[in-house]
Every structure is written in structure tokens, then in C-alpha cells.
Amino acid sequence: MTDRHIPEPAYSRHDAYFRRHNLPTPCLLFDLDVVSGNIDRLRDAIPQAEIYYAVKANAEPALLKLLAASGCSFDVASPGEIDLCLAAGADPGRISYGNTVKKAKDIAYAYERGVRLFAFDSAEELDKLASAAPGAQVICRVTVVTTGAQWPISRKFGCSQEDGTALLRRARDLGLQPYGVTFHVGSQQRNPESWDEGIGIAAELFAALSADGIELELLNLGGGLPAGYDAGVQALEAYGKAIRESLGQHFPDPPRLIIEPGRFLPAEAGMVRSEVVLVTQRSEPVEKRWVYVDAGRFGGLAETEDEAIRFPLGVSRNGAPVASPSGPAVLAGPTCDSADVLYERNPRTLPLDLRPGDHIDFLAAGAYTVPYASVGFNGFPPLPAYCFSGEV
């Protein structure tokens, strides 16, 4: 077989489903039972933490329903995501508006629907919150080093510890409830020790604000828990241990704790099945075998940008493994855009007699795939177009 690192039987349920149901490719097939198992594992690993699922990783209604029914809460970034959570049965009191960049009218929308927990990282955002969500609980996002993350997302958000102190004081002066601290270690974080810095900063903020008579209550550990794309990813238990130790060290008096997994909960539940469209040998600029499939960068596999996320692959022909020696191949998507190449710098190992009609499965593909392919990533509506001609 190919470079499939996830144990074979892990996707036997998907294979069985595909044999029974002739689904057209490309598509994502998603096993909700895997998510239930991941919720249990996370609760075992960090029992103190309430789970706030980051909806942007996968906003399928059936998934959100399962999470709500399992007692999970939600981290959202837009009114669109609030609507999805409420439709899935979420209690607005269990929704955190974690995006630190919000329109005033979107804050008001959330507040009218009962959302009371908001993140911020700037004075300007606090002013908006004070007028559109008076008295709400606000948590300050601080920056931390994100080395070790395969999909770093932190540079865009967060303030320094020093600014955080001043901003949380300002929140009180504006009539908001300074409630806690949050940070994000970067997505697909490979180093379990990465949470220590943010937990340490939070502890210092708790102490500094307490000296001012402000008692912070919430520590939000953000996202970053990894999916098992390769054998080098440490088990969840290693993350639980590192985080619990760090909490014990910095917080003798444990605060209310939230964790916001996006990728971790749905990733390994999903398989994207694609069909081989063309296999050819190209000689320019160097001789290589190119394999084109009907799933690509613009159809959900956006995290292959810079080959950041290396999905494990499975190959089959008519539902059976392909028994043939393997060799390197460039793997590319179906569109006419030259950015639609999934793996070239680090080619993939694929059967040498691979041919059109064979299936290539992208495993552990249940997070950050369909949302990128859909109109409305992160609950933001797509760009409308208006045409006109003649006199205006």
C-alpha cells in the first residue's frame, strides 16, 4: 500500500459504506462515531476543561447536533456560525464569540440572541463591545509563540501581556465584565509543551488584575490539538499531561477552564474519496510522473498549500487494494489553475500501474476541507456579484 500511516482498520467502516453506497466523487464521508470517541478521549485527557468546538473546522449540521447533544459548547466567528449552532440545539449561553475582529452589528446580533462571552485583543474592539454588548463577559487574547504548528494562525490576532493588562482594566471601566484570558498555539501543534507559555502569561494576568480588584475567572486554552496525519504526532494523552502539569504549576487555584478544539474532533472521522483522472509522465522541467485527481486545492484541500498538511492516502480499484509496486508521483487537482498542485516538492508514493478510475482517499480529512470548499467559510457569506451596463 502507500504511505498510509493511520492503521488500516481505522477506515474499514468508510470502505464498507462506499461499497454499499455508490457515492459520486469527490466527496467527504464522515463517521460521527469517531467524533463521539474523540469527545470521550478529550474529556479523559483534560477532565477540568469544558469543550467549546471551533465551528470553522467543520460546520456540518449533523456534527453540530451530535456535539450539542453530547454537552459540548461552541466557539464561533460570525453570525452565520451562531445561526448554525442555535439550529443544532446549542444554548446561546454556551456559545463563545471567539473572533477578535467583529462588526458592531454582528456583536449586537449575537447579544440579542443571548451570547454573553466575547473575545477581544484591542481597545477599539472593546469600545464596540461596550456599546453593542453592554455588561458582557470579555476575554483577552494574548499572543504566544507558535513554533511547532503546521498551520500557524496566531500572527493575525492577540496582544502583548502588557497591553492585555491595560485592556482588561479598560474593559471594567467601560462597564464590561473582564472575565479571562485566551490564546492560540497555532493549528496542528506538534509540541505538547506549547501551551505552557500562554498558561504562564494568563496566570500573571490573573495576578496583576487581582491586585486591581478584578478577579478573572476563565482560562481559554484555544485550539491546536493535532490530528494523526503521520506517525510522528504524539498521542492526545501527552498533550493532556503537559497541559495538566502546566496548569498545576501556574495556577494553584484552578480557574474555569475551556478548550477549543477545531481540527482534533472531526479530522480523523473524515475521508475524502477522489478519482484518478489522468496519469502521465511529464518531462518538463524534470521527468516526473503526474497523477491528477478530481479533488483539489479549490475543492476543499486548501491546507495542502505549501504542502503544510500531508494527508495520509489510501488507494483502491473497484473497492480492493491495488497490488502493484509503488513509486513517486506528483499529485495534482483537476482545475486549470497552476496553484492546484497538492504535493510536488515532497512527492507521494503511489502504485506504478495507477490508472484513471482508481480511487485515492485522503484520510483524516474531516477538518478544514468541506468548509474551504463551501461558499461561506467560517460563516461569512460569499462575495455577491452585481452586473450592469449602459447608463448608470
* Active site positions, annotated: 336
191 binds ligand PLP (CB under 6 A): no
63 and 35 in contact (C-beta within 8 Å)? yes
* Residue at grid coordinates 476563565: 218
Report the amino acid identity of residue 334.
P
Q: Which is nearer to ligand PLP, 230 or 344 (CB)?
A: 230
Q: Which is nearer to ligand PLP, 109 or 264 (CB)?
A: 264
Closest CA to 129 of 106, 162, 160: 106
Nearest approach in angstroms of CB 53 to ligand PLP is 9
Nearest approach in angstroms of CB 128 to ligand PLP is 18
List 192, 198, 261, 312, residue binding ligand PLP (CB under 6 A): 261
Three cell numbers, residue 185 = 498555539
28 and 300 in contact (C-beta within 8 Å)? yes
42: exposed, middle or buried (C-beta count within 10 Å: 0-12, 13-18, 19+)? buried
56 binds ligand PLP (CB under 6 A): yes
Nearest approach in angstroms of CB 113 to ligand PLP is 19
Three cell numbers, residue 252 = 494553584
Q: Which is nearer to ligand PLP, 263 or 359 (CB)?
A: 263
98 binds ligand PLP (CB under 6 A): yes
DSSP string, 260-319: --STTTTGGGEEEEEEEEEEEEE-SSS-EEEEEES--GGGT-GGGGGG-S---EEEEETT
List 35, 159, 225, 370, residue binding ligand PLP (CB under 6 A): 225
Site for ligand PLP in 331-360 (CB under 6 A): none
End-to-end CA gap in the chain: 62
184 binds ligand PLP (CB under 6 A): yes
125 binds ligand PLP (CB under 6 A): no
42 binds ligand PLP (CB under 6 A): no
Closest CA to 332 of 274, 257, 255, 256: 274
- What is the spatial distance between Cα 109 and Cα 65, in angstroms, rounded to a whole number? 22
379 binds ligand PLP (CB under 6 A): no
Nearest approach in angstroms of CB 152 to ligand PLP is 10
Nearest approach in angstroms of CB 28 to ligand PLP is 16
Q: Which is nearer to ligand PLP, 165 or 187 (CB)?
A: 187
Q: Which is nearer to ligand PLP, 333 or 371 (CB)?
A: 371
121 binds ligand PLP (CB under 6 A): no
- What is the spatial distance between Cα 372 and Cα 378, in angstroms, rounded to a whole number? 9
- What is the spatial distance between Cα 23 and Cα 3, in angstroms, rounded to a whole number? 25
List 14, 263, 297, 348, residue binding ligand PLP (CB under 6 A): 263
222 binds ligand PLP (CB under 6 A): yes
Query: Which single residue brings its beta carbon nearest to ligand PLP?
Result: 223
37 and 53 in contact (C-beta within 8 Å)? no
In angstroms, what CA-CA distances link 289 with 63, 90, 239, 331?
38, 49, 39, 9
Query: Does residue 306 come out as left (phi exceeding 0), alpha (psi in the -120 to 50 range) or beta?
Result: left
Q: How many residues bind ligand PLP (CB under 6 A)?
A: 16
59 and 84 in contact (C-beta within 8 Å)? yes
Q: Which is nearer to ligand PLP, 223 or 351 (CB)?
A: 223
Q: Which stretch binds ligand PLP (CB under 6 A): 51-59, 240-248, 273-281, 327-335?
A: 51-59
List 51, 54, 68, 360, residue binding ligand PLP (CB under 6 A): 54
250 binds ligand PLP (CB under 6 A): no
List 158, 178, 180, 224, residue binding ligand PLP (CB under 6 A): 224
262 binds ligand PLP (CB under 6 A): yes
Contact residues toward ligand PLP (CB under 6 A) are 54, 56-57, 75, 98, 184, 187, 222-225, 260-264
